[in-house]
Every structure is written in structure tokens, then in C-alpha cells.
Structure 1
Amino acid sequence: MIRAFRANARDHRASILVAALSAAFGVALLACTNVLGAFISTTEVGSHGSAQFALALVAGVFFVIAVFVGAIVTTNTFATVIAGRTRTIALLRLLGSTARAQRRSVAGEGLTVGVIGAAAGGVVAVVLAFVAVRAFVWTGVLPDTLYPVLTPSLLAPPVVVVLTTWLASWIGSRRVLGVAPVEALGAAEERPSSGLRSKGRIAASLLLIVPGAALLGFGLALGLGLFARSGDAALADFGRYGVLVAMVGGLVSFTGVIVAAPLFLPAVLRGIGLLLGRGAATRLAAANALRNPERSSRTAIGLVIGVTLITMFVVATQTWLVIMRAAAAKEPELYQGTESVLTATMLVFSALVGFSAVIAAVGVVNSLSLAVLQRRRELGLLRALGLSASQVRRMILAESGQLVVAAVLCGLVLGTLYGWIGAQTLLGQLPGAGLVAPAVPWLFIGAIVLAAAVLAVGASVAPSRRATRVSPVEALAVD
């Protein structure tokens, strides 16, 4: 396991970074929750049990989301690594090694990556948490008292990250290691579109999206205390768990969206691509979305996840702020000192959004790199047919452009919905709180759109240049 990792250490830099960020996210989140819980307990807000319970729930919700995103990113990262080892794996298979042995080797590398990344991220997060607490005390944001920063619960995030990284490495290796040795020696090809539009995929996506949407609605009703008004004492007490029900619904429904992505994203990408121009490069870019639906949807979904995640956090935070201020205006005697609590919490949430943005960005870069890596033969054929290197690069840039537009549209809709439901289910039962419209900070949304465009275009430039530097003959000979 260690030997295999050392032999391919350079390939795993991105995976280690994702594991470290995920572990740091979880550790920092729990540490900050402990500190905020201690602070809120000293204020008037802390006298109401719902506030502290909501704070405890938010840590669990955000950590589960971070692990979910990190697992998807790690799966794509290992798929990228395995795609670059196709010839080596095929040769080992021909020499007698089995697919099971190769998958065990890759899974061992994933376990090592998880241990190294989680340990490094956890230690860094603990140090930063201590420094942040002292800085907040020194600046007067937090009162000078003893805060429980270091607790046994901080061991949970690194352990979970190690396990999910190991599982993601196994899943990421499934497709390439499952082919026959003779097939692996050739170029890996995408499955045909007809295979993707199967009844099985449609059924699987519906089995996830429909129950997930139902759980979202049920969680929202619980969070708003609708059942409490009906006089059902059991459901009224269960209302505080509405955010957990909504979280499960969000994860299940979004997984369904990922499963269904090859069914709708290629058509969306093609439609957007046709609006970008009528040149040869843009027409090819639009056609490629339907020609290779699995590849195009896999690339797009990485950016959709990133935009959805960040939008969800931003909308949830802003809606949470609106709810708290509205409740304080209606019940001022219960919310004395609310502004200081909001200030501290907003600072913490801003840091959490930063963690999530970096994790999502790593996933986007890896997805785009994978897409170009697997197309060297295709790009070589286009150049052999007469396209210049600059035309090929323009085609890839056009694909990146349509990718950004499609991912931003999908991500903004999903992120706004999930963020609003999350805030409502978390705080809907506080005294004076109630149903509010989603709070969308448009300036921040504009920054997200710009960042997504820069990231997608920037991530495609370097691999496209590397691919077009190779002569057409050499590119056609690449695995």
C-alpha cells in the first residue's frame, strides 16, 4: 500500500489536498460550534433552547455536506489518476494481475491519501481555531472567557474523511479496472448515448429525486412548526429535527440530479453552445455535448456542485440573518445581544464558505483536466482533418463557456432552493420567526458567476495547450 503510494505520490497531490480541506472543514466547524455554543449560552438568546439546538444541528448539516462534496471530488480525482494509468494497468493485467488486485492497490493508495490528508488538515484546523478564538477575544468580538476548542468530537471529521477517501478511491477505479486487458490497451471510449438514456437510469433518478423532494417539503413543514399548530404534540416536538429531515432530502434529491445529469445536461449544453456563435469551433463544441453525453455531463456536474454549494451557503446565511433580525424586531426582549451573535456567526459562516469554495474548485479543475486528458486522440484526429491548434483551443474554450452558463443556471436554482429551505427549517420555530422570502445577495452571486467563468476557462487553458502541442500523429497514438 505504502509502496504503491510512493510510486504514484505526484498523482495524488490533488487528492491529499481535498482530504486535508475536508478534514480541516469538519474540525474547524466543530471547534467553532463549540465556541459559539459557549458564547450564546451567556447571552439572552441562549436562554431559548432552540437557538443552541439549531447551532448543534448546523455543524452536523454542514459537515455532512462537506463530506458529500469531498467524496464526489475525490472520486473524480481518482478517475483522473486511473485514466492516466490505463496502459500500465492493462500491461499488469496481461502479465497475470487480476482486476481485484489492481483495485485493492488503488484502494490502498486512497487509504494512505486519506490518512495523510486528514491528519494534516485536522492539525492545521485545530491550530487555526485556537488562533481565531484568541483573535476574536483580543478584538472584542468574543468576551474573554474559557472556550471549549479542543474536544474528543474533533476526532470524528478526520476519521470520516479517511473512510470516504478510501471508498471514493474504490469507486473511482471501478470503470477502468473493470474492462478486459485487450480493451484497456486501446483508447477508452465513452458509452453510447443510447446506453445512457436507459430506463434504469431514469428509474434510479426518479427514485432519488421524488422521495428527496418529499423529504424537503416535510422538513420545511416541520421547521416552520406547521404540525405544532395542528395540536399534535409528538409532531410538534419532532419539529426541531426538521433541518435533519431536509438535509437528508437535499442529499438524496441532489444525488438524483447527479444520476440524471446525462439525461438533460448535454441538451442544455448544446442549446447554450448554439447561442455562442456559428464558427467551426463553436459548432463542434455544441455538437460534442451530445456526441459524448457522459463526458460532458460529468464535466458539467462538477461545476454545478460547486455553484450549488456556494450559493446554498450564501443564501442560507443571508436568509438566516433576515429571520433572526425579523424575530428580534418582533420579540426584542428575547433577543438582546443578537447583533453581536450575528456578527460572530457571520464571520464563521464566511470562513466555512471559503473552505467549501476551495473544495469545489479542486473538483472543477480535476473534472476539466480529465475531460481534456481523455480526448487526446480525438483532438489529434481533428488536427489531422485540418483544424489548427488554435481552432482546437477555441473549441475547448467554447465548451468551457457553455459549461459555465449551464452550471451557473442549474447551480443558482438548486443552491437558492436548498439554502432557503435550510435556513427556514433551522430557525423557523424561533419565537417571532416565520416564513420569509429567500435572501439572495446579488453582488455575491455576480462574484460567483465571475469566479466560475475564470475557473472553468483557466482550468481548460493549460491542458488544452499541452494537448495541442503534441503532433497529430503522436496524439493519435496516445492511449
Structure 2
Amino acid sequence: MVHERRRLVPTLIAVVLGVAFLAATLMLSATIRSSIVAQTSASVDGADAVVSADASTTIPASALAQIAARPGVSAAEPAISTTLQRTDRASVIEAHITPRIGHGTSVVSGRLPRTAGEVAVNPLVADSGVRIGHQINLSGFSEGSTGRRFTVVGVVDPGPRVSVNNDQQAYLDAATLMSLRGEQGYDTIYVTGSGGQDAVADAVSRVPGLHAKGISVRTADQERDVLTDRAMSGSQAMTGFMTAFAVIALVVGAIVIVNTFTILVAQRTRTLALARCVGATRSQVRRSVLADAVEVGLAGSLLGVLVGAGLAQLLVSVGGSSTNLPLQSHISVSAVSILVPVLVGTLVTLLAALPPARRATRVPPVAALSPVLPEPTRTVGRVRVVTGAVLFIAGAGLLIWAATGTGSMTSALIGGIAGGLMNFAGVLVLAVVIIPGLARLIGHVAGRVGGTPAELAAENAQRNPGRAATTVSALLVGVTLIVMTAVGAACGRTTIDATLDKQFPFDASVTSSASVEPAAVGAITRTKGVAEAATVPQVELTLAVAGSSHGTRVTGFGYSERARATFRDASSLKGLDDGHALVQAPGASTGDRITVRSGDRALTLTAVVPDGADPSLNRVMLTADALQKVAPGAPAHQVLVRYADGAQAADVSSALTTALAPYPAMSLNSAADQRSQMEQIVTLMMALVIGLLAISVIIALVGVANTLGLSVLERTREIGLLRALGLTRSQIKAMFGHEAVQESVAAILVGLVLGSAYGIAGAFALLGSQGSATMRISVPWLELAAVTAVALGAGWLASVIPGRRAARISPAVALAGE
């Protein structure tokens, strides 16, 4: 009995791993939601009603006094959140109205601002070197906004009503902040009163001007729900993402469970037959197998929940300490996050055990008299081949349609997922033909090197194709998914890089409200990590096109090699030369003759309108030489910068910020930082996916070992005969090693082809449906080589124990049935 319990350990491991990820997903989702609810509840803590405006408008400034004057209203606290330029550091800073003390807000040192020339900052700004008494320059991004100098008078630790972001922040009086932002009005007003939330919200809603489009009046509870749903929308993708891999782990686990119970039934054949001899019915035999399944499924599910809780806690601890996510320190555990994994794990185990249980009822009582197990001979049915071919072709067609035939990302993703699943299901059905066929070809080559054991291994795959396919089915799933992820991520990263290069052809730009000083250009060029820098002159001229003329902004891009070297993608300058201008203006078409004029100087050129041009931009791009002819001495207000290859974007941007400190009129905008952040996200997601899918390879390792163990049982007489004919123990071990490796290589080849195709199709479905994306195909050869090596090693390692067991079979077994 103890020995049979040990045989169920692989099944237990498969259940534990699959359920662990499902439990971790549910607990992480609950933790994220409870963290967000706690955060949003804190932001409206103490308020009875909230007036909020969306991004398209603001709450009229006059409404604040009217709200405060309503019957039943005791207090109204306004809030503004915007971004300003900190021109003394060539950076940006988050700006808010000077907060009231309370609701989590406190003064760390100094005091709150009292006049329009004073500002308070948060501890993060203080950590960057700003002290009380220092002066900083702030300006808005609106047209014509000018910078103003402020004296730092205090350091404030903001509460959730002010901001939950971990960014550098400044706090100013409302009038000054509205002036800098270039827009009058508030973003939010928190209202406190008497009579309950509904009464306060009703009183506030009667204020004129609060019924405009984009302005909402809600009770505090309604505002919490809105904020929670808005914040949770970003986490739904991650929850769905992790749930998908939990399902994958359960599916791969189910394959192993079926194999394990098949082995168990084979190992207990004589015991079950003897039970039938002494009167056990088919239903009793079936119940005995299913009872084992329920026992293992329940135990594995309970252990899986514990492992999942530990994994979720680890992720929460790491995520909370290494990111800005406002996560709770401990995971949230609900009845759903415990009961659902336990029920799912137990049910999957029970369903996976049903086919072996049915086979157990077919064991005849006469099998108790047989000294060895008969080796089954299985053929491939025509219906199976036709079914697999139909699924494969239909799935491939749906995949192709999703990747190329739709403009909607939602329909592309649904079609891609459905097509991929259908296609892969066809491959699994046809695996009884594909795997043995490939194994035979591989075996012919291996036979020249491995000798008789390799040749026998190839013949074994042909004699029982079903067993050969089952041996590596879980490995095929794991390799396919890992390769799909690696190729899809590589295509995504390359495509995103190409899109960013096209959208932001240079790594960074430095803009100035005044003419760029040569000394500033020199400071930029000398900054460590900067490869190239070039000024861009810009001037307002008159444009005559299609019979009309109007003012337009004309930019001159250098035509020299050094100037163009700042561009990572020069396609945006395609068609630009001394006789042609790139035009995005009303009425302009490619081939039109246009004239740009400045006073008595005029220059006529041929217009080139870029693909996807926006006429509302009203912009003309000339070469620097052409601009010099019509507007000599045009000032440069922008410097284009290219970072050195391999340099850390954040480090170079930080160094540029320091280098530009003596030039308060200049501000830095780094596209390289956005690219770097995108690459970090892709790398992090890929690491997470590979980590999750590595579990499927571990489960696959167990599955290969289990199926080879079944092969030992079924081929006991054959192995005994081979030993009698002179094969040594080492050759028997080598035969099983070759069999595992040959079938694993076949599965790896299929997985590489399928995974690459799925990854490319998935990238096209996800990114190709976005019209702005320029798709790029990229194959990560190094990662694929690593996957191949690991999977091959896993296949061989799985053969070690079954090979040793087979080597111990005595030659006398071959004569036992005679």
C-alpha cells in the first residue's frame, strides 16, 4: 500500500503546481483590489460628496464659493493636479494646490506657502538636494507660458487626497497654479456636510455650472466605486494573463495525471484481476481508482493553496518594495481564493482519472494468472487522422485571418486565441503520427552513432505510436508555449522599437523658450552618454499653397551627416532636400509648388506630404540650407540628441539635466526613457512568463518519466528477451535514454515550429491591428537554443530512473509466460 502511494507522488506534484498558480492568481487579484479600495477610500475619507471633472474640462473656480454656501455644507476642499516644467533642472514636476493639514497630509519641516512666490515640496524633491530657502523655477506647458521663480518654504508629506504617486511634487496656491497651467478651474472638490451623503450630494448638484459635460457630482461611496473600477481596469489584463497560465499549468498537469493513473492501473493489473476473481464488480474496481484520484486531488489541491499563498505573498512583498504599486503588506485571502482552487484541482484530477478508471474495469480476471503483463499494440485510426487534420487546417486559417485580416484588436485576439487552440489541438491529435515519424528519422541518424540501443529505441516508437506521443505530449506543450512567448516578445520588442524610432526618431530633444546658446549645445555634446547633438532652427513664415497664404511654423533640419546622425529612423525626412519641403498644412498635396516668404525674401519648392500627415499641424520642414536662404539667422529653439548605443537612458537623461542646470530656459524631453521603460516592461513580462511556463517543463519531466515507467511495465517480456539475447544492462539503459531523447527531439522540433508561428501570429494580431505599428519579425535564436538544450536535458533526465528499473529485469522473465 505504501509502495502504491509513492507511485501517486508525480500526480500529487502536478496537482500542487497547477493549483498553486490558480490560487496565487486569485489571491493576487483580491490583494490588488483590496489595496486599491483602501487607497481610493482614503482619498475621499472624510468627504460626503465629491465633484470631479474629467480630462476634457475643469470645475469653474466660481463654483467653490457657491458649493460652500449651500445649506448643509460645512466645508469644500478643492484639488488640482497638473504637470509643470522645472526649468532650473530641465525636468518636470507634479504640481498640486497647497493642501490642508489632515487627511494624511502633514508638514515634515518648514511651513506651508502663504504668498504667490512661495512653494512647498514633498520629501522626494528634498532628497534630490532642494532645501528650505532654495529657489526653483516653474513654468507651464501652455502656449506663451513663462517661468516664475519660487522660494521653497516647507517640505510636506502628502496624504492620499493630494496624490498617491511616488513622484516629485510641488504645492502652490490655487491662483498661481491655475495661471501656470493656463486653465482656470479645479479638478476635484471634496465636500463635507450634514444630513448624510445623499443629502449633501443633492445640495451640491443644485449649484449652477455643475451640470456641464464632463463634470460629475457623486456621493463619497459612488466616487469610491468609480475610482476603484477605473484603477482595477489596469489590473484586469494582469489577472487574466496569470489566470491563463494557471489554466495552462492545470492542463499540462491533467496530461500527467492521466499518464500517472494509466501507470497505476497497469501496475495494479494483477491486483485488480485477482479482486475480480474473488467477486469484485466493475463498479467497485472503478470506484477504487477514482477514490485514489479524489484523495490525491484533494490533498494536492490543499497543498497547492498553501504553496500559492506563499507565492502570492512573495510577489506582493517584492512588488511592494521594488515598485510604486500601493500594495498591502499582506495578501488578502477569501473563501473564493481557497474553495475555487481546491474544487478545480480535485475536479480536474477526477476527470483526468476517468479514462484509466474505465480501462481498469476491462481487466479480465484471467490476467491474475499471467506472470507478466501483455504488451499492447495500438494503431492509428483513420478518424483520428482526419479529425486532427481538420482541426489543424481550420485553426491555421483562423490564425492567418487574425494576424492579417482584421482591423480590430479585440476580434484579432479572440480569433488568434481560438485559432491557436484549435490548431494546437489538431497537432496533439496528430501527434501519434508526427512524433513517431520524426523519431524514426532521428533514430536512423542516431543509429549510426548510438548503435543497437538507438535503433531499438526508434523501432519502439513505431510499434506503439500512441505511447510515443503520450510520452512527450506535456513536453510538447511546454516547449511550444515557451517558444511562442519568446518569439512573440522578440517580435513585440522589435516592433515597438521600430514604432518608437519612427514616432520619436531621436532619443531626446532639448527645447528652449529663448534662442539656444552655443555654450548649451557644447554642454549637451560633452555630456557622458551623448553620441550626437544638432540644433534645429525654427521661425514663423508665410506659406503660399493652393492659391491661399497663411502663417506657418517652418523648421530647418540639417542635411549634413552629423545632423542626420541624431535620427535613429530618418524615414520621417524622406523626400526632404534643398528643392523639396515636407508639408503638413491645409490644402497641400504632394507635387504642389509652394512658396515660403519672410519679408522680401521668398523661396519656392515642391511639396512632399508625408503618409498620414495631419494638416492641422500647419508645419513645413526645410533643409537648414533652404531655411537659411529665406530666413538668414533663424534662431534655434531645439536641440536634437542621440544617446550612445548601450548607454542607460535614465543615466544619460539625469546627466543632461545636470548639464542644463545653468540654462533655466531649457527643458529636456527624453523619448529614450520611454523606450527604456517599455523594454523593461517587456523584459519583466517575459521573465514572468518564462518562469511560469518553466513549471510546465517540470511537470512535463514528470510526465515523460511516468510514461517511460509504463513502457517498462508493458515491455517486461521484451526487455527480458533482449537481455537473454545479449544486451547488457548499460545497453538497456541507453535504449531508454535514446528513446526519450529521440521522442523529445521530435517534440522540440514541432514545438519550435509551432511556437515560432504562434508567436509571430500573436504579435501581428496584437500589434498589427494597431494601424501605427510597423510590424517586424524577430527570432531570438539564443533563447531558442537555451530552450532546446533544457528540454533535451529534461527528456534524457526523465529516462534515467525508468532505464535503471528496466536494466534490473532478469532474462528469465522472457520465459515466464511459456
Q: How does the TM-score come out when normalised to structure 1?
A: 0.82
For residues 28-427 of structure 1, the aligned pairs below 5 Å read 28-31=24-27, 54-138=237-321, 140-146=322-328, 149-150=331-332, 152=334, 154-155=337-338, 156-183=340-367, 186=370, 187-193=373-379, 196=380, 198-221=381-404, 226-228=405-407, 236=408, 239-240=409-410, 242-278=412-448, 279-326=451-498, 329=501, 330=503, 338=678, 341-342=681-682, 344-427=684-767
1:26 maps to 2:208: no
User: Partner amino acid for 1:441?
Assistant: P
C-alpha separation in 1, matches of 2:343 and 2:446: 46
Q: 1:434 to 1:181 in 2, by over 3 A?
A: farther
Task: Classify the secondary structure of the residue corresponding to 2:455.
Answer: helix
| 2:798 matched residue in structure 1 | 459
Percent identical: 36
Moved more, 110-119 or 468-477: 468-477
User: Partner amino acid for 1:190?
Assistant: P
User: Partner amino acid for 1:164?
Assistant: V
1:274 Cα deviation from its structure 2 partner: 0.7
1:469 maps to 2:808: yes
1:124 Cα deviation from its structure 2 partner: 1.7
Q: 1:217 to 1:28 in 2, by over 3 A?
A: farther
Aligned CA-pair RMSD:
3.6
1:74 Cα deviation from its structure 2 partner: 1.2
C-alpha separation in 2, matches of 1:446 and 1:108: 43
Moved more, 345-354 or 124-133: 345-354
C-alpha separation in 1, matches of 2:415 and 2:251: 16
User: Partner amino acid for 1:406?
Assistant: A
1:49 Cα deviation from its structure 2 partner: 11
User: Partner amino acid for 2:5?
Assistant: A
Q: How many residues align?
A: 454
The answer to whether the Cα contact below 8 Å between 1:191 and 1:294 also exists between their aligned partners in 2 is no
C-alpha separation in 2, matches of 1:371 and 1:313: 33
1:444 maps to 2:623: no
Q: 1:386 to 1:361 in 2, by over 3 A?
A: closer
User: Partner amino acid for 1:86?
Assistant: T
The Cα offsets for residues 374-410 of structure 1, whole Å up to 9 and x where unpaired, read as: 2222100111223232332232222233223212111
User: Partner amino acid for 1:166?
Assistant: L
User: Partner amino acid for 2:788?
Assistant: V
User: Partner amino acid for 1:123?
Assistant: L
C-alpha separation in 2, matches of 1:14 and 1:304: 18
**Bigger strand fraction:** 2
The answer to whether the Cα contact below 8 Å between 1:91 and 1:181 also exists between their aligned partners in 2 is yes
**Bigger helix fraction:** 1
The answer to whether the Cα contact below 8 Å between 1:34 and 1:147 also exists between their aligned partners in 2 is no
User: Partner amino acid for 1:383?
Assistant: R
Q: 1:49 to 1:8 in 2, by over 3 A?
A: closer
Task: Classify the secondary structure of the residue corresponding to 2:447.
Answer: coil
C-alpha separation in 1, matches of 2:230 and 2:497: 17
1:13 maps to 2:5: no
The answer to whether the Cα contact below 8 Å between 1:379 and 1:467 also exists between their aligned partners in 2 is yes
C-alpha separation in 1, matches of 2:456 and 2:410: 52
The answer to whether the Cα contact below 8 Å between 1:35 and 1:147 also exists between their aligned partners in 2 is no
User: Partner amino acid for 2:18?
Assistant: S
The answer to whether the Cα contact below 8 Å between 2:482 and 2:690 also exists between their aligned partners in 1 is no
Moved more, 20-29 or 428-437: 428-437
User: Partner amino acid for 1:171?
Assistant: P
Q: 1:442 to 1:416 in 2, by over 3 A?
A: same
Q: 1:47 to 1:319 in 2, by over 3 A?
A: farther
The Cα offsets for residues 239-293 of structure 1, whole Å up to 9 and x where unpaired, read as: 4254344333333322222222222322221111011134332322222222222
Task: Classify the secondary structure of the residue corresponding to 2:8.
Answer: helix
Task: Classify the secondary structure of the residue corresponding to 1:368.
Answer: helix
User: Partner amino acid for 1:26?
Assistant: L
Structure ranking higher on relative contact order (CA contacts 8 Å, 6+ apart): 1
User: Partner amino acid for 2:422?
Assistant: V
C-alpha separation in 2, matches of 1:473 and 1:146: 66
Moved more, 356-365 or 425-434: 425-434
1:432 Cα deviation from its structure 2 partner: 4.2
1:370 Cα deviation from its structure 2 partner: 2.2
The Cα offsets for residues 406-446 of structure 1, whole Å up to 9 and x where unpaired, read as: 12111111222223334444455568445332x43322222
Structure 2 residues without counterparts, runs of 5 or longer: 41-163, 166-228, 505-670
Q: How does the TM-score come out when normalised to structure 2?
A: 0.50
C-alpha separation in 2, matches of 1:302 and 1:184: 33
Task: Classify the secondary structure of the residue corresponding to 1:277.
Answer: helix
User: Partner amino acid for 1:18?
Assistant: A
The answer to whether the Cα contact below 8 Å between 1:220 and 1:424 also exists between their aligned partners in 2 is yes
The answer to whether the Cα contact below 8 Å between 2:254 and 2:348 also exists between their aligned partners in 1 is yes
C-alpha separation in 2, matches of 1:48 and 1:324: 25
The Cα offsets for residues 52-100 of structure 1, whole Å up to 9 and x where unpaired, read as: 6644542343233222212112111111221111111111122222233
1:24 Cα deviation from its structure 2 partner: 1.1
The answer to whether the Cα contact below 8 Å between 1:30 and 1:59 also exists between their aligned partners in 2 is no
C-alpha separation in 2, matches of 1:78 and 1:371: 14
The answer to whether the Cα contact below 8 Å between 1:50 and 1:240 also exists between their aligned partners in 2 is no
